[in-house]
Amino acid sequence: MLGARLPASRAAPARPTSPVQRYESIAYQVADVVDVMQQDAGGAIKELRADGGAAANNLLLQFQADLLRVPVVRPKVTETTALGAAYLAGLAVGYWKDERDVEANWAVERTFEPRMGQAEVAHRRSRWREALQRSRDWEERSAIDGSDVR
């Protein structure tokens, strides 16, 4: 990861220099995946719904909205894996009569609208792609010339 500091010892992993970089890295990776999905589907998403532990981070979701240029929606209940299992069980035993009953339980906690300008997004995503390419080149060069230091 570019911007990471070398660990103090072999046992310590290299970490990004700040928590902000960790969240930005997640957002860039998600944006890359969404780009491919949109290309394969032949259409654009209208919004992205976030869930899981990382969805609690406002910085991450705002940056994600900025990069994707679409609203990012955080539901009131972000632990949807467990919730989904409970919904399926409830449907199986007749607690809910159909999917519409389940959908009625979903509620928005907050929506993050894109705020960053399109030129800034294009610049940042271009720099992200450059960083990815440099890391690929580094890996190839270190494998060829034996410069991989461990």
Q: Which domain holds residue 114?
A: 16-78+108-127
Burial of 130 (0-12, 13-18, 19+ CB in 10 A): exposed
- The whole model's pTM is what? 0.77
pLDDT at 146: 65
What is the pLDDT tens value at each position of the chain, 150 positions in all?
A: 454 555 556 665 655 568 888 899 999 999 999 999 999 999 999 999 999 999 999 999 999 999 999 999 999 999 888 888 999 999 999 999 999 999 998 899 999 999 999 999 999 999 999 988 888 877 666 666 666 555
Q: Cα(first)–Cα(last) distance of the chain, in Å?
A: 16
| Amino acid sitting at position 112 | F
Q: Is residue 34 part of a domain?
A: yes
Q: Is residue 40 part of a domain?
A: yes
pLDDT at 148: 56
Q: How many domains does the chain have?
A: 1
Q: Is residue 9 part of a domain?
A: no
Q: Is residue 133 part of a domain?
A: no
